Amino acid sequence: MPEDKSQKANANGQSVAASNNGQWTKHGEDSTSLFVPRLETEIAGVQFQNPVLTASGTFGYGQEFAHLIDLNRLGGIVVKGISADPMPGNPPPRIYETEAGMLNAIGLQNVGARAFLKEKLPFLRTLKARCVVNVFGYATEDYVNCIDILNAGEGIDAYELNISCPNTRCGGMVYGSDPKLTEEVVAASKRASRFPLYVKLSPNVTDITVFARAAENAGADALSLVNTFVGMAIDVETCTPRISNVTAGLSGPAIKPVALRMVYQAARAVRISVIGLGGIATPEDALEYLIAGARAVQVGTANFYAPDTAPRVIEGIRGYCAGKRVHLADVIGSLRVPGEQGTKASEY
């Protein structure tokens, strides 16, 4: 039988109402008027006003959503992947809806680093939300060249290194699927970086902790995980792939339990901060990641069908903290694992 979530108890044994459209309140009083939780979080020296960011590849360059939500309410915006030179992306079809998710193989279409600095960054500089630039390449020097160009940009707060790319110099081996390649590209990118370097890990590995430690040892300032899972779909009438690239990245609610497990494992394996993502659509989804040890979260696929998801998640986290009379820092890593005492999940 599903758990009855109509009522829970906080750490002091006081009755707390569970989520109601993302709002939590203590029974018998409007706790939000009595207690104002602090939602600020810090990741590798970057201060975020709240722990909710939008994920790369799902939110364009930010400005595309300015008419839909107040971007200044966000903790941060992770812009779509940027390469040193512009890229046209893959031919269509490149998106396909699945049960509880979607497949995409956009092909990392982007304007290129120089055009990003000139055309996109000026708008992002005007926002309260922090600007994190996702960077990718197909050889280690590609990452370094892109970062060298972006280092001139004022208003960039951090880089997010997408290592789920094939290394064309190593027979197409994906950087994020080989610990030595992970260390190579992270170390080279860190040496080149003017700003803190967050490394986005691939979930398509046997042991996520091996790659979390490899990135940390190579100089990563923080980790974000997970990227999409490799999947595919077939049209049985035409016997052809639903995606022109044949395989594609699976995202959305379907991946959340596996992504959450990986975030929990990574947070326990490293000393650097972890950002959790994968299937977040509600405040409760985000809170699960935070309780598992993530210091922040990213909303991704939900932006396509409910652009107001990130602001709703922020307010839901605020209501949860107010109802339990705790600050965000008290929530992070607060998972209670049977048989373990005295160590929060975010501590190692």
Active site residues: 165
DSSP state of 90: P
E-assigned strands of the chain?
Answer: 7-9, 15-17, 41-43, 46-48, 52-54, 76-82, 95-98, 101-104, 130-135, 158-162, 166-167, 173-174, 197-200, 222-225, 229-232, 234-235, 240-241, 247-251, 273-277, 296-299
- Write phi, then psi, for 45 (nearest 5 degrees): 85, -5
DSSP assignments along 275-320, one per residue: EEESS--SHHHHHHHHHHT-SEEEE-THHHH-TTHHHHHHHHHHHH
DSSP state of 55: P
Q: What does the chain come to in residues?
A: 348
DSSP 3-state assignment of 168?
helix
Q: How many CB atoms lie within 10 A of CB 36?
A: 11
> In degrees, to the nearest 5, what angle opens at C-alpha 214 toward C-alphas 182 and 254?
75
- Write phi, then psi, for 251 (nearest 5 degrees): -140, 175
Those residues with Cβ within 8 angstroms of residue 18's Cβ, 6 or more apart along the chain or in another chain: 5, 6, 7, 8, 24
DSSP 3-state assignment of 187?
helix
